């Protein structure tokens, strides 16, 4: 680029930085980006919750098929942890999540996996109260 054109562009950029209309426009675009990223994050997290519910449901069904075998569930989770490269503790949480929310309709799309990790540690009778509180504050 020629030096004069570079000067003109630099001057135009400088004047845009001080233009209130341009500043408003930039803030508007930043807001759109921020909202989009937030929606994307929520969508991904919702998918994670749904996936964990499906995993829990399938693992529990498998355990029930072999309930006549002592400690099958324990060995099943240990083997799955190794074969799926998932921490055993995480698989236990996933199964516990499913057992706490066996009806998929009771799983709120407004709550993240982190919410559910905390909710499954609360005793059954108190869980709905805290779940509703979490929904109100999310």
Q: CA–CA separation, 133 vs 138, rounded Å?
A: 9
Q: Residue 51: its pLDDT value, please?
A: 97
Token pair listed for 83: 């074969």
CB atoms within 10 A of CB 95: 21
Q: Residue 6: its pLDDT value, please?
A: 65
Q: Residue 81: its pLDDT value, please?
A: 97
Q: Residue 12: its pLDDT value, please?
A: 66
Number of domains the chain contains: 1
Q: pLDDT digit string (tens) for 7-32?
A: 666 666 667 878 899 999 999 999 99
Q: Residue 7: its pLDDT value, please?
A: 61
Residue 87 falls inside a structural domain: yes
Q: Residue 92: its pLDDT value, please?
A: 97
Residue 58 falls inside a structural domain: yes
Residues of the chain under the 70 pLDDT cut = 1-14
Q: Which residue has the tokens 């996996």?
A: 113
Residue 20 falls inside a structural domain: no
Q: CA–CA separation, 90 vs 84, rounded Å?
A: 11
Token pair listed for 70: 């002592």
Residue 11 falls inside a structural domain: no
Residue 7 falls inside a structural domain: no
107 close to 40: Cβ distance less than 8 angstroms: no
**Domain housing 78:** 40-136
């Amino acid at each position: 680029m020629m030096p004069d054109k570079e000067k003109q562009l630099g001057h135009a950029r400088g004047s845009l930085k001080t233009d209130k209309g341009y500043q408003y426009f930039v803030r508007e675009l930043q807001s759109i980006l921020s909202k989009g990223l937030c929606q994307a994050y929520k969508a991904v997290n919702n998918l994670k919750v749904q996936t964990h519910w499906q995993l829990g449901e399938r693992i529990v069904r498998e355990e029930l098929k072999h309930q006549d075998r002592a400690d099958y569930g324990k060995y099943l989770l240990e083997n799955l942890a190794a074969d799926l490269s998932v921490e055993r503790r995480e698989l236990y949480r996933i199964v516990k999540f499913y057992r706490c929310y066996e009806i998929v309709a009771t799983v709120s799309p407004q709550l993240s996996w982190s919410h559910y990790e905390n909710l499954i540690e609360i005793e059954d009778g108190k869980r709905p109260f805290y779940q509703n509180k979490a929904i109100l504050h999310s």
